[in-house]
Amino acid sequence: MKSAEKGADWLSGSVRAAAVERRLKPGQALFHAGGKTSGFYEVVSGTVRMVRVDRSGREAVLQVASAGDTLAEASLFSPAYHCDAVAATEAVVRLYPKSALLAALEHDPATAKAFAARLARQVMTLRTRLERRNIHSARDRVRHYLTINAGADGATVVLPGTLKDLAADLGLTHEALYRTLARMAAEGEITRAGTVIKLKRAG
Amino acid sequence: MKSAEKGADWLSGSVRAAAVERRLKPGQALFHAGGKTSGFYEVVSGTVRMVRVDRSGREAVLQVASAGDTLAEASLFSPAYHCDAVAATEAVVRLYPKSALLAALEHDPATAKAFAARLARQVMTLRTRLERRNIHSARDRVRHYLTINAGADGATVVLPGTLKDLAADLGLTHEALYRTLARMAAEGEITRAGTVIKLKRAG
DNA sequence: TTTGTCCTATGATCTGGATCATAGGCCAGC
DNA sequence: GCTGGCCTATGATCCAGATCATAGGACAAA
């Protein structure tokens, strides 16, 4: 593969070829609210925070993007950014220029379809994650996660990261998650070997 | 069923013209996991629940769609549904046939762009709502909401629904929200007249 | 007018998860 | 081998928000 063709494999080669990488120091801004949009970004490494600041100086975090995440997709369809993006750590981002992607959307139906498909899938998983946060009990939240992420056998879940990562994803402290998993295992609802969890029959 | 050109104004006329309405009784299924996908839906009235059931019979809700919401967008890019959709109440839904939308994506760049734009905006707001749920304190959650939803003056928020609706959106009980708003008003952080809230200078 | 429903509101109590503290295991780098 | 950092794990305590209860007001239907 050509070096230029790294990153998001759901984008067509021409769009990926137009991508530009940029290195950021902690605290350095990627763009500011009101600035002219130049495209959307993919985080290669580090983390970037999107922040909205109101007149009274209060800040509100809209998103924290880590390696692999994309950000500011909506800016493709708007002339100006509507929030600030600031590197929270040393970070590398890849810019996919607006013009390249919009041109692809116009002239290349396959790319348009792939782009829409990715966004639709993101909407789906975000809705699911949000729905999970409506569950109060830690145990039911874990059940929800396991049920939805069970593999082809409908019972086995291989965690994509550490238990701490999962705890953050579930909106629990890691302590609460450890305890919950321990209890579920003790009561026979699951069996566990490291980050591989198997759901057992209910009842 | 009449296919008047109502509903989703972000879709081209030709797609809207192809829409089909369907009326559901409580408990009636809209589609089942594994079934061939026929398109995506918009809820006209009532509420529809998307549910995933695992081998052991456990259920997990993926989404609860109410009037105005859309569902199963991702099914456009997949041959089979991956969950069940069941009406939770008497409901009316509008089906946008897969073929019509996919054809539009291929041949009509404007529609493709509008569709992608809508999805991108949804991704953005969902990410923001999810981020908000990471905030533990009720007060900070309300602040986050107000800051992000402040109008052009950066201070005034007109709620789109009732306080109960807002409480649900924030992931709080209505009692907790009432108390939090009362305290914020008492301490001069906000002023409130019904569902119109004004942010005051930060303390 | 009366009844019923729903939103708003606030008091009293309870609890599950957050927080704080401690410790063992594992691995990378020195 | 030793050290430091991080993940895993569990105990003790605390507290914000959930839950339960009660009540006034707005509004629609009967």
Sequence spans of domains, chain B:
13-123, 136-199
A74 inside 8 A of chain B by CB: yes
Q: What CATH number should be reported for the domain whose range is B136-199?
A: 1.10.10.10
Cross-chain CB nearest to A120 (options B54, B73, B143): B73
The pLDDT of residue A5 is: 60
Write out chain B residues lying below 8 Å of A202, CB-based: 56-58
Q: CA A169, C1' D7: Å apart? A: 16
Say whether A86 sits in a helix, a strand or coil.
strand
- B190-193 sheet: strands from edge to edge: B156-158, B196-199, B190-193
In angstroms, how far is D16 C1' from A200 CA? 34
Tell the burial category of B76 from Cβ atoms under 10 Å away from its Cβ (0-12, 13-18, 19+).
Answer: buried
Segment A109-129, tens digit of pLDDT: 999 999 999 999 999 999 999
pLDDT at B2 over 50: no
Beta strands in chain B (DSSP E): 20-24, 29-31, 39-45, 47-53, 59-66, 70-71, 84-87, 91-97, 156-158, 190-193, 196-199
pLDDT of B154 reads: 87
Where does the pLDDT of residue B55 fall: very low under 50, low under 70, confident under 90, or very high at 90 and above?
confident
| Model pLDDT for residues B99-119, shown as the tens digit of each residue | 999 999 999 999 999 999 999
- What CATH number has the domain spanning B13-123? 2.60.120.10
Q: What is the pLDDT of residues B138-165, one digit of tens each?
A: 999 999 999 999 999 989 999 999 999 9
The C-alpha atoms of residue A119 and residue A104 are separated, in whole angstroms, by 16
- Which stretches in chain A have pLDDT values below 70? 1-5, 202-203
**Nearest Cα residue in chain B from A169:** B134
Class of domain A3-123 (CATH, top level): mainly beta
Interface test with A, best of B69, B99, B130 (most A CBs within 10 A): B130
B44 has pLDDT over 70: yes
Separation CA A47–CA A50 (nearest Å): 10
A127 near B63, Cβ under 8 Å?
yes
Give the pLDDT score at B94: 97
Tell me what the mean pLDDT of segment B115-125 comes to: 97
Please state the rounded mean pLDDT for residues B54-68: 90
Task: Give the pLDDT confidence score for residue B5 in this predicted structure.
Answer: 59
**According to the model, what pLDDT value does residue B7 have?**
79
Does residue A58 sit at the B interface (CB-CB below 8 Å)?
Answer: yes
Dist CA B171 CA A133 (whole Å): 8
Cα torsion B135, B140, B142, B147 to 10°: value is -100
Instruction: Choose from B11, B105, B157 for mutation: most chain A CBs within 10 A.
Output: B105
CA to C1' distance (Å), from B137 to C13: 20
Domains B13-123 and B136-199 fall in the same CATH topology = no
